[in-house]
Structure 1
Amino acid sequence: MRRWMAALAATVTLTVATGCGNPAGVDGMLTDDWPELPAAVGFTPEANVCHEYAGWVRRKATDYRPVACTEKHLAETIQVGSFPAAVTEYPDGGTKPLRDAYAECDKASRGWLGGDWREAALTLNVVPPSQNAWRGGARWFRCDLGRRNSIEDKGPRTGTASLKDAMTNGSEPRYGCYDFDEDGNKATLVPCDRPHTAEFAGTFETNLSWEKLTADGGDEATHRNCLKVIAKFAKVPDDGNVKYRSGSISYYPSLDEWTMGSRTVRCLLWLADSTNRSVRGGGTSALPIG
């Protein structure tokens, strides 16, 4: 292109020298009046849209097909953020930039939902651009909320409405009371005025590594922390007697959630005998020493 332009300019100069002249308003300079080309603009996803697919699927611009949140979907983008300019390496799972983005998304999710997503059958995902897009200069990340099947089942659940204010308008109920099957394996959410043997008491943030959390020794540490959560929930003394008042059932984040930044363990109190009332704030009469 440069060589072609130089040859053309030489031709024009020769024409001027032979006395042909230029039309009115033409100065004979081919390049000085060209407008500058606009800066290249990369693809950036939108907020306040929903997606048929959850997680890191379809992050490419060519695959980006958001749908109305009234249609069936598995994820909802509530915010789009940007990685700091100082982040040069791709923010893969487990890296600090991805965990920082997760913390930003977590904060945004509370305002969007009207509560803590960890207390309902919901999930939070950070979705960065593909590695190819990153190499091309993309620095965005999506904050995606989604639904899960239950406190036990992390599988995605389809929605047909936005999650905006979902935890204040009751469209996504918070975890509550549970009745387990005879084998003690499957938990069914039931009203607290029906017989049940377990109740969601709250969460805590673990400081264990993933390896220690999921090892056998991690169960004991998790149980001790859940007993603290249960004592606060039931308003009983946080002393050595809590373990005689209640057992505990705990649910860890998935490995994918962990690598994004989730360190939350969910705790259920567990009773040897069924009850038909909530233990919340009930004190020692609701949670006596067994």
Structure 2
Amino acid sequence: MDLYLIFDLGGTSVKFAVSDKEGKFDSTGSFPTPKEGMERMLEEMGRVYEAVQAELNAADSRIAGIAVSSPGAVDIRTGVVGGISAIPYIHGFPFTEAVSRRLNGLPVSIENDGNCAALGELWKGAAAGRRNMVSVVCGTGIGGSIVLDGRVYRGKSNNAGEFGNYLVNREGEQRRTWSSCTMVNQAKRYEALTGRSADGRELFRLAKAGDGDAVRLVEEFYEAMAVGLFQIQFTLDTELIVLGGGISEAPFVIPEIYKRMKRLAEDAEFGFLIPEIVPCRFGNKANLYGALYCHLYT
């Protein structure tokens, strides 16, 4: 039986999974992202591959291919990771060739992690059955992916979907980008204002309890989300926006975003453009599903 080994490269850890072609994961795990460089990364990937294949030999199965989800501006044809990321040593050379040489010459595919998250949700997740959708991932910054007619739209430099650079808010005479208004960054502003540390979850709690600074900062976050999502909808008129990242796990976030969008729509009379927004289904496993989908079907 042919199975596939999937790696999701992250700045802190590398997740991996073994799956059949239907996306049924047999085993999952992770290892800390090596700091030493590419050779160490290849050693760790090789260790995982050899351990998995040893187990599969007893079951008369084999690893038939390697699927990789990676940060950066990925060129899926050449296997080169452009741009910058939290793993600097993976950039600027034929990454897939190096991995294939280390993993017994197996075929290796690679795709950008944001695109993987979108395609994972499109394949078997919250966007299953749709052809046009946008994935918006809200973490430290804002990232995402655009899928048109079932295929990722990449742009001329593989940077399409970098929504975090949208201008969404104003601070004095300065316009602020969407990425600058995430809850991670709003929590940093709260600490700078008050001297009290808080993460995004705590900032939501403080706002609910009536803390004035927290209320204002959370409101800025919701306004930025509403404006950013409207800009996407105006540009692409997409069927669906799938919201990922830590905030998607909080059930109150999407309803609060809708409240601000409806208010903006009433003021400007374009309520017909309010998009359908749903939370991602797979969470931090979406990249694994998407990388496998890319390996098998693109």
Query: What is the TM-score normalised by the length of structure 2?
Result: 0.25
Higher helix share: 2
Name which structure has the greater RCO, CA cutoff 8 Å, separation 6+. Answer: 2
